[in-house]
Amino acid sequence: MNYSSLEECLTDLEKNGHLLRIKEEVDPYLEMASIHLRVYEAGGPALLYERVKGSRFRAASNIFGSLERSKFMFRKTFAAVQKLIQLKNDPVAAIKQPIKNLSSGLAALKALPLKNPTIKPVLSQEIRVSDLPLIQHWPNDGGAFVTLPQVYTEDPDQSGIMHANLGMYRIQLTGNDYLRDKEIGLHYQLHRGIGVHQSKANKKGQPLKVSCFVGGPPSHSLSAVMPLPEGISEMTFAGVLGGRRFHYSYEDGFCISTDADFVITGEVYPGENKPEGPFGDHLGYYSLTHPFPLMKVNKVYARKNAIWPFTVVGRPPQEDTSFGELIHELTGDAIKQEIPGLREVNAVDAAGVHPLLLAIGSERYTPYMPAKQPAEILTIANHILGTGQLSLAKFLFITADESGSLTTHDIPEFMRFMLERIDLSRDVHFYTNTSIDTLDYSGTGLNTGSKVVFAAFGEVKRQLCTEVPQVLQTLKHFTNPRLVMPGVIAVQAARFTDYAQAEREMKVLDEQVLPGGTGDKGVVFIVVCDDSSFVSDRLGNYLWVTYTRCNPSHDIYGIGSFVQFKHWGCKGPLVLDARIKPHHAPPLEKDPGVEKKVDRLFAKGGSLHGIA
């Protein structure tokens, strides 16, 4: 269906078995998040919370909780949007087959936003921030947050909706030093369009007008996270995906999405920041308290019987994983068109997306040379690390596969392919003192850290170990060696104290391993960690611990390491120190008391009995 509201969407989901109502009163402090996490993990339906303690408004979550449900919501427009994206990548196809592609052209007519519609539901009532469902997700969060916002700003140099940015940047509603109902926190990260707008407003010495839309047709939420090319308005995409033009108006100089359930308007003044956070984030840790822009609230609007949509993020996979799957389905081969020679990429969700990126490229530079080694894939790696959100990758594994059968989405097979071929004396490339994801605390400071590229191509160099070699079973100070996957061994070490001590510990490891050797025994990576049983228990644990807790420049060592003409390499296995460091953010943990209270909903007679 082409929904005109969130409620229309939820009614459709309920009729088709995709939604359950929770009739019991639920507490927005931790309880609602706990319910959501359990239902998502069980592969359950979307949820409509009919009685939210402390608020007269209903709430909904897990709307995008599965790819199946997301595609169901956009069933009338999904194929047309895919075709439009394909035509953008291959415009010649539209010229060659105009009749076949006529439907795509008709779908594009929905792209033009509609200004000043006759009916403006969201303006039916003016409320306060404290009237909203103030949902706190994790015990140590700084307060209540908006987790499915659509944050709208316009270019100070080019006003109007066609030059606007719509992004999903979290909003802190309560807590810290914010004046209740008058101030809220606006958190956004690197490579976001809103930053360009605020920079321009700051140069002019004027406040940036911000509108935060919550709810409305589901196409609006998806558009806020869609990685659209520069210059393409998210509102036009929302119209095409939703099969309905984006309806908007202006009130007090602020843009209003008239189909939204709620709108918060306000201004961000140059140089005015306040502490924002902590917030339990999608890497599975708290993002800590830092100064972020302060938004001074102008007005808050709500439609009659408005519904507050939210999601919960934490250690992946979570609902935002389904967002990523849906975007991948829609965009298909778009990234390959943007980066010549790139065949496939996978931002690994289990590692928190940005920390770990797998890629397959091409090797066409020197077909006349008998020896095969990385060449073109190094060029592609640099292009990847200079492209939009891909530039936030911290660990990039890249290879080329002449057979065309390798895929980045079969992670064990991809890693086997890489580890069989990598030359650790040649194929490890560091980028130091650079920018990393704002939410990644493994680096040397906020937004600062390092990157590493592992580029492997050529013939198989080794047979990977499938059990722990004897030399790693008798180590001193490094215990409980476990096989993680072929070629990768996890060992346990004492708690990390500081980098000077870590250097001494790694020297001890080097002195024990190098004489006995492991290269001929198929060990490529040694992961030093706090709990090797946990790391080796399943693939997701290895990916999460290793790649979220390592800063490449500081935490990568090598057995028999050397520096030659400023290039780092090692003769034996590469060592990743994946222990928790004192500067790391704490991992997320649920509140046992809240979990026990929530059990009532899943017990016999509860609204969610039988789901989890």
277-299, pLDDT tens digit by residue? Answer: 999 999 999 999 999 999 999 99
Per cent of the chain over pLDDT 90 is 76
What confidence tier does 517 reach under pLDDT thresholds 50, 70, 90? low
Greatest pairwise CA separation for the chain in angstroms:
80
pLDDT digits 0-9 by tens, 170-196: 999 999 999 999 999 999 865 567 888
- Split at pLDDT 50, 70, 90, the class of 50 is very high
Pull the structure tokens for residue 378: 């190094």
What is the C-alpha to C-alpha distance for residues 107 and 327, in angstroms, rounded to an integer? 18
Which pLDDT value is given to residue 444?
Answer: 86
Residue 227 has pLDDT above 80, yes or no: no
> What local confidence, expressed as pLDDT, does residue 229 receive?
63
Q: Rg of the chain over CA atoms, in angstroms?
A: 25
Q: CATH fold of 470-577, please?
A: UbiD C-terminal domain-like (3.40.1670)
CATH architecture label of 319-456: 3-Layer(aba) Sandwich (3.40)
Residue 371 scores a pLDDT above 90: no
Average pLDDT over residues 581-585: 94
pLDDT tens digit string along 305-335?
Answer: 999 999 999 999 999 888 888 888 887 666 6
Kindly report the CA angle at 6 between 5 and 9, in degrees rounded to 5? 95
User: Would you place residue 435 in the very low, low, confident or very high pLDDT band (cuts 50, 70, 90)?
Assistant: confident
Q: Is 186 exposed, middle or buried (0-12, 13-18, 19+ CB in 10 A)?
A: buried
Q: What pLDDT score was predicted for residue 388?
A: 79
Residue 602, pLDDT above cutoff 60:
yes
Over the range 407-429, which residues count as b (16 or more CB within 10 Å of their CB) and which as e?
Answer: ebeebeebbbbbbbbbebbebbb
Q: Mean of the pLDDT values across residues 231-259?
A: 92
For residues 23-40, average pLDDT: 97
> How far apart, in Å, do the first and last CA atoms of the chain sit?
30
pLDDT at 82: 81
C-alpha span between 486 and 468 (Å, rounded): 10
Give the pLDDT of residue 95: 35
Domain boundaries, the chain: 6-310, 319-456, 470-577
Whether 225 has a pLDDT exceeding 70, the answer reads yes
Residues 6+ apart with CB under 8 A from 382: none
- Whether 470-577 and 6-310 are alike in CATH topology: the answer is no
- Comparing 554 with 227, which gets the higher pLDDT? 554
pLDDT above 60 for 47: yes
Residue 520 pLDDT > 70: no
Whole-prediction pTM: 0.91
**Residue 45 pLDDT:** 97
Judge contact between 161 and 248, C-beta under 8 A.
yes
What Å distances lie between residue 611 and 20, 37, 46, 366, 599, CA to CA? 10, 12, 12, 57, 11
pLDDT at 198 over 70: yes
Q: pLDDT at position 90, please? A: 46
Neighbour-count burial of 179, counting CB atoms closer than 10 A to its CB (0-12 exposed, 13-18 middle, 19+ buried): exposed
Q: Is pLDDT at 336 greater than 60 in this prediction?
A: yes
Domain 6-310 CATH class label: mainly beta
Q: Cis omega (within 30 of 0) on the bond before 291?
A: no
- Rounded-to-integer distance, Cα 406 and Cα 333, Å: 16
**Tens of pLDDT, residues 65-108:** 999 999 999 999 988 888 777 655 444 343 334 334 434 454 56
Give yes or no for residue 413 having a pLDDT over 60: yes
Is 494 within 8 Å of 479 (Cβ atoms)?
no
What pLDDT, on a 0 to 100 scale, did the predictor assign at position 101?
41
User: With contact defined as beta carbons under 8 Å apart, do 561 and 569 qualify?
Assistant: yes
State how far the Cα of 173 lies from the Cα of 187, in Å rounded to an integer: 11
Whether the predicted pLDDT of 610 surpasses 60: yes
